Amino acid sequence: MIKPGRLKIELPKDVKHILDTLTENGYEAYAVGGCIRDSILKRSPDDWDITTNALPEQVKELFKRTVDTGIKHGTVTVMLDKKSYEVTTYRIDGEYEDGRHPKSVEFSSDLVEDLKRRDFTINAMAYNEKDGLRDEFGGIGDIRKGMIRCVGSPEERFNEDALRMMRAIRFSAQLGFSVHRETMDAIRKLAPNIKKISMERVQAELIKTLLSDKPETVELFVECGILDQILPHVASVLKSPKKTIVLKMLHNAEKTPVMRYAALLYYAGPDAARETLRTLKLDNYTTEMVEKLIRQEAIPIKVNEIDVRQAMHDLGVDFIPMLRDFKRNIYKSKEEVMFIPMGKYLVQIETVYKMYQQIVERGDCVSLKDLAVNGKDLIELGMKPGEEIGNMLNLLLRVVIEKPIENDRQVLLALVEGKLADEKK
C-alpha cells in the first residue's frame, strides 16, 4: 500500500541540484509528470522534468548552460554535464485551436494550475523533498487501482488535444492499467478527431504500444475506432478472424519495431504492409524489412548451399535469421491458438538456417565487397571503367556463390583474362 504522506522518492543528484538552486533563490520547484509516476511504480524514468514558478528568463540566470528549447511555451533546457533537463514555468494552456496546439500559453504562479493542464491523473503529480508529493487529482489512488483517467472532463481534454486518446491506450499497454470507463467512452465518441494529428505523433504512440509488455492492447485502438480512421489495413486485420493469432504473434514477437510491425501486418500482406508503414512515415529500413519478411515468408528458400548464399546476397546477410524468427513466431503462435502441432512447417527454414550458420562460419563470399578482386584489378587487366566492369564483377560473384573455393585472386584474374581473350577472338 502506498501512503502518500510518507512517500519518499529518490531524486537523482542533478535533479536535486536544479530543485535546490531554484528553491535557494526563492522560487518553488518540483519534479513533475512521468518521472514521478514511474518512480512510484518502480520503473526507471526516461527523463526528469521540472516545473517551477520562476519565469524562463529567471531560470536562465541561475544556470550556466541553458538552451531555449521551447521558451515560448515556458521551457528552458538546463544542461548539466552531458545530460539535459527541461525546466518549465507553471503554465495554463490556452484554447486548442485545432485539436493539436494551444493557441497561447499563460504563465501561472500556482502549481495546481500547471497540474490541471496535464492529461491523466497519474501524470499530474509533482514532488520535492520539502513538500513531498503534491497529488491534487487522485493520481496515487489511480496508480493503486491501475487506472488511466483524465484530469477533468475527458471530452474536453480530448477535444483540446486528440493525441491524448492514443496516449491513454499507450499508457494502458505500458503499465498494464485499465482505461477508466468515462475516459474510454469519450475516446469512442471522439475517435474521428485523430485525423487532425500528424502521422509522426500517431506513429510514436503506436510504436510505444507495440514495444510494450502488452502489445496486444493495440486491439483497443481498433475497438474504439481510432485506427479505422487512419490505418484501415490494420483495422481490417484486427477485425478479421485472424485477430487472435495476430495478437498472440505480437505478444510472442521480439521487442523490435521490425518484428512487432511484421507481426501486426502479416495477414495484411506485403503490399498493404508497405502502404501502412509509408502512411506512418516510418524509416526505410523498418518499412523494407517488414515488407520483405512478409513477402518472403511465402517463398521458401531452396535447401542447398548455393541457393542459401544467393539468398544472403539478394535479401541481405542478416535476413535469414530474421525470417527464421518470424516463421517460428507464426507457427508457435498458431500452435498456441489452435492446439495443432506446427513443427513440420519449420523443418525447411531450420535446415536453411543451419546452412546459413555454416556459410557464415566458413566466411564464404556472398557479396561484391568480399570478392577477392575488385574494379581496380579489372582496369589493370585492360577493362574500361563502366558498366562492363560491374557486369564482370557480378559474373565473378555468381561463380563464387556457386563455388566458394574459387574466391581466390589468381583464380578469378585468370578467369577474367580468359574471358577477355575469348571476346577478342
Q: Can you tell me the distance from the alpha carbon of 192 to that of 110, in angstroms, rounded to the nearest whole number?
A: 34
Q: Which is nearer to ligand ATP, 160 or 275 (CB)?
A: 160
Q: Return the H-helix or E-strand segment holding 30.
A: strand 29-32
Instruction: Choose which of 52, 53, 66, 123 interacts with ligand ATP (CB under 6 A).
Output: 123
By CB under 5 A, is residue 99 in contact with Mg ion?
no
Name which of 51 and 286 has its Cβ closer to ligand ATP: 51
Choose between 119 and 219: whose C-beta lies nearer to ligand ATP.
119
d(Cα 148, Cα 185) in Å, to the nearest integer?
A: 13
Residue 74 interacting entry, from ligand ATP, Mg ion, none, C-beta within 5 to 8 Å by type: none
Please spell the DSSP secondary structure of 178-234, one letter per residue.
EEPHHHHHHHHHHGGGGGGS-HHHHHHHHHHHHTSS-GGGHHHHHHTTHHHHH-HHH
Restricted to residues 161-190, the positions that interact with ligand ATP (CB under 6 A) are 161, 163-164
219 binds ligand ATP (CB under 6 A): no
Verify binding: residue 49, ligand ATP, rule CB under 6 A. yes
Partner from ligand ATP, Mg ion, none contacting 216, C-beta within 5 to 8 A by type: none
Q: Tell me which of 11, 19, 22, 34 binds ligand ATP, using CB under 6 A.
A: 34
Smallest gap from residue 56 Cβ to ligand ATP (A) = 17
With CB under 5 A as the contact rule, the residue among 34, 74, 99, 215 that binds Mg ion is 34
Residue 46 lies near ligand ATP (rule: CB under 6 A): yes
Question: 161 is in the binding site of which of ligand ATP, Mg ion, none (Cβ under 5 to 8 A by kind)?
Answer: ligand ATP
Which ranges constitute the DSSP H helices of 87-213?
111-116, 139-145, 154-160, 163-175, 181-190, 199-210
Q: Which residue has the CB atom at the shortest distance from ligand ATP?
A: 34
Q: Does 118 bind ligand ATP (CB under 6 A)?
A: yes
Please give the span between the terminal C-alpha atoms of the chain, in angstroms, as a whole number. 91
33 sits near ligand ATP (criterion: CB under 6 A) = yes
Angle (CA) 186-191-192 rounded to 5° is 135
Q: Which residues pair with 30 in a beta bridge?
A: 51
> Judged by CB under 6 A, does residue 287 bind ligand ATP?
no
User: Between 70 and 269, whose beta carbon lies closer to Mg ion?
Assistant: 70
Rounded-to-integer distance, Cα 266 and Cα 293, Å: 9
Q: Which stretch binds Mg ion (CB under 5 A): 3-11, 38-46, 116-124, 311-319?
A: 38-46
* Residue position matching grid coordinates 520562476: 54
Sign of the alpha-carbon torsion through 40, 144, 118, 209: positive
Query: Is position 95 an interface residue for ligand ATP (rule: CB under 6 A)?
Result: no
Q: Answer with the entry of Mg ion, ligand ATP, none that 312 interacts with (C-beta below 5 to 8 A by kind).
A: none
Q: Which long-range contacts (CB under 8 A, 24 or more apart) does 392-395 make?
A: 392/416, 392/419, 393/368, 394/368
Question: Which residue, 170 or 309, is less far from Mg ion as judged by CB?
Answer: 170
From residue 307, how far is each of 349, 359, 397, 399, 402 by CA, in Å?
Answer: 13, 12, 13, 13, 9
Does 119 engage in binding with ligand ATP (CB under 6 A)?
yes
- Residue 312 CA to residue 8 CA, distance in Å, equals 55
**Residues 324-353, interacting with ligand ATP (CB under 6 A):** none
Please, which residue, 114 or 325, has the CB nearer to ligand ATP?
Answer: 114
Residues that bind ligand ATP (CB under 6 A): 33-34, 46, 49, 118-119, 123-124, 161, 163-164
Residues that bind Mg ion (CB under 5 A): 34, 46-47
